[in-house]
Chains A and B, each alone.
With several copies, the nearest count.
Chain A
Amino acid sequence: MKTIYLDHVATNPLHPEVLEAMLPYFRELYGNPLSIYEPGLKAREAIEKARESTAALINAKPKEIIFTASGAEANNFALKGIAYANQNKGKHIIVSKIEHHSVLNTARFLEKSGFAVTYLPVDKYGLINPEDVEKALTKETILISIIHASPEIGAIEPIVEISRIAKQKGLILHTDAVASVGNIPVDVQALGVDLLSFTAHQFYGPKGAAALYVREGGRIVPLIYGGIQEGGRRAGTENVPAIVGMGKAAELAKRDLQKRMDRVKVLRDKLITNALKTEKVLLTGPPEKRLPGHASFVVEYIEGEAMLLLLAAKGIYSASGSACSSKALKASPVLISIGIPAHLAQGSVVFTLGEETTEEDINYFNETFPQIISRLRGISPYAKGWEGMEGSSCTVQK
């Protein structure tokens, strides 16, 4: 069966050129980049070359790039590293309610360690009002960390406006750009951020390579102590093939960005237009200020995991923010934050298009999706509406 991958926000296959670039570093140029003989020196050179193209993708300088092993690590590093480096100046941090778990849960850890954290609300589209940032500031504020684009609802946040506020007050601004880098232009100068997290597997690079951008001169306390790798800011023997792969993927992403965006946007719009023709299907996230390949919905009266499974049975791979589709069995806090009631959040489904998505794929999807909705509604006790629904809070029986 032909399969149609519409879950590019979860991860991506390696681009063939990326794999090719990585292969020599597994067995031939296997040296430790700290070593002073040939296979080590070659590995070191390759890392520095990768640093250049990785930096170029976000318009940074090579020395502003610290390689990490995941976006989650970059986010943990940014929040803890900045908090610890600046705790003498103050102990208040601002994040949004729609941050990724790797930001939210790090913020909670910092709360336990004596920091105060403000969790900013968002509007019905998931957008932050920069005025809310301003209002949340206290004399103790040291760091603002706001996601650049939401993987769940595609919303692109007004980082430039928030940066103006941060600059005015001399505060440090971090953005989690894991879902945006490689999908839309991301320029650290234009955004005006001091730190930015991104991960290679979001743009056809390898899993196991990611980076934290730290503006030149910025002080950060390491998350992983040890040797002098990454200028002493992130220890551990470098994952050379993965870093090389990230460099190559960054190079391709920079080269092809406009083309990739233009292609997926047209197809995505077609998908959204068609999906909204079915009754009681709502777009989540902003209609305009969203990632070009991102379509997300709630479908009333049915549940997300069931949709995913039936779609998968038809060869279509996608994601959901429903409780049942998450291992934590909790509906996505992002959907709750934008005011979707919990029973509707169960009907969440997210489609993210990518480089290999074709018009034919979308035509097939557009045919299949309404069929699956109607099939599941045919089973649902709520097919005619939510009448008779019980209470509005959920305590899972154990």
Chain B
Amino acid sequence: MYSAKVMDHFTNPRNVGEMPDADGIGTEGNPVCGDVMKIYIKVSDDKITDAKFQTFGCGAAIAVSSMVTEMVKGLTLDEALKITKASLAEALDGLPPQKMHCSNLGADALHKAIEDYKVKQGK
């Protein structure tokens, strides 16, 4: 069902946890639907220096969260905004079709976190 990479990120998720001093926080999804992702970012000089996540959801949702927090580290905000559902799925060697829309919320949560950062910065 899931690729080896998904299973790896799901069973050994990277960057789990809260980030009390986050510069931006984005939450996407709804527990009623089964998946919620909360992404925390730390930003310095328009670059994402750290990222963490908390996720309620299925294997795909957790793997996507882990992957997106890995991918964004070191990216500029503009680069990070280019991350999409598709690029996340590709980085995970694919996701089952039915999981593409409901559990692949990483890009949206990330974009919201960047938005949040920008709002906080008054940009």
Residue positions of A touching B, CB distance < 8 A: 36, 41, 301-306, 309-310, 313, 322-325, 327, 329, 331, 341-343, 346, 378-383, 386, 389-394, 396-398
Among A36, A309, A342, A390, the most chain B Cβ lie within 10 Å of the Cβ of: A309
Q: Which residue of B lies closest to A37 (CB)?
A: B1
0/1 interface trace, chain B 90-120, chain A, CB 8 Å (1 if under): 0000000011011100000000000000000
Distance between A45 CB and nearest chain B CB, rounded to angstroms: 10
A156 to B39, CA, bound (A): 44
Instruction: Report chain A residues within 8 Å CB of B33.
Output: 323, 394, 396
Q: Are A305 and B32 in contact (CB under 8 A)?
A: no
* Nearest-neighbor residue (CB-CB) of A381 within chain B: B54
A-chain residues with CB within 8 Å of residue B1 when the two chains form the complex: 36, 41
- Given A306-B61, A309-B10, A324-B35, 12 extra CB contacts under 8 A: A306-B58, A309-B7, A309-B59, A310-B11, A324-B60, A324-B99, A324-B103, A331-B34, A379-B54, A380-B54, A389-B31, A390-B31
Name the distance in Å between B47's Cβ and chain A's nearest Cβ.
Answer: 25
With A313-B11, A378-B16: A346-B55 Cβ-Cβ less than 8 Å:
no
Residues of A near B42 (CB, < 8 A) are none
Q: B57 to A306, Cβ gap below 8 A? A: yes
Indicate with 1 or 0, residue by residue over B31-45, a CB within 8 angstroms of chain A CB atoms: 111111010000000
Task: Check B56–A394 contact: CB distance below 8 A.
Answer: no
By a CB distance below 8 angstroms, the chain A residues around B54 are 379-381, 383
Q: Which A residue sits closest to B55, measured CB to CB? A: A379
Task: Indicate the member of A381, A383, A397 with the most B CB atoms within 10 Å.
Answer: A381
* Chain A, Cβ-Cβ closest to B30: A390
Expressed in whole angstroms, the Cα–Cα distance for A36 and B10 within the complex equals 15
Most A-side CB within 10 Å, residue of B2, B13, B57: B57
Q: Is the interface of A mostly helix, strand, loop or mixed?
A: loop
| Distance (whole angstroms) from the CB of A241 to the closest CB of chain B | 21
Report A372 CB to chain B, min CB distance, Å: 11
Report how far A83 CA is from B13 CA in the complex, Å.
Answer: 52
- Flag if A343 contacts B32 (CB, 8 Å): yes
8 Å CB interface, B13-32 against A: 13, 16-17, 27, 30-32
Chain A CB within 8 A of B72 CB: no
A309 to chain B: closest residue by CB: B59
Q: Is B68 an interface residue (CB 8 A)?
A: no
A-B contact pairs, 5 of them (CB 8 A): A329-B98, A343-B31, A378-B16, A391-B30, A391-B32
Whether, in the assembled complex, B88 has its beta carbon less than 8 Å from a beta carbon of chain A, the answer is no
- What 3 A-B pairs come out closest when comparing CB atoms? A324-B58, A343-B31, A394-B33
Contact of A379 among B13, B35, B102, B103 (CB under 8 A): B13
| Interchain CB contact under 8 A, A324 and B10 | no
Contact of B32 among A309, A310, A380, A394 (CB under 8 A): A394
Q: Complex: how many Å from CA A306 to CA B64?
A: 13
Question: Are B59 and A305 touching (Cβ within 8 A)?
Answer: yes
Q: CA–CA, A77 to B93, complex, Å?
A: 39
A195–B58 Cα gap in the complex (Å)?
39
> Given A302-B56, A306-B57, A309-B59, A386 and B101 touching (CB < 8 A)?
no
Are A381 and B27 also in contact (CB < 8 A) when A41-B1, A323-B34, A396-B102 are? yes
B55 engages A381 (CB within 8 Å): yes
When the two chains form their complex, are residues A346 and B34 in contact, meaning their CB atoms are under 8 A apart? yes
A396 touches B57 (CB 8 A): no
Chain A residue at smallest Cβ distance from B29? A390
**Counting CB contacts under 8 A, is B80 at the interface?**
no
The contact string, 1 if C-beta is below 8 Å from chain A, for chain B 53-76, is 111111111100000000000000
| A150 CB to nearest chain B CB (Å) | 22
Contacts A41-B1, A378-B16, A396-B102 given; does A306 touch B59 at CB 8 Å:
yes
> Given A343-B31, A346-B31: A381 and B101 within 8 A (CB)?
no
Query: Which A residues touch B103, using CB under 8 A?
Result: 324
With a CB–CB cut-off of 8 A, which chain A residues contact B31? 342-343, 346, 382, 386, 389-390
With contact pairs A346-B34, A382-B31 given, residues A325 and B58 touching in the complex (Cβ less than 8 Å): yes
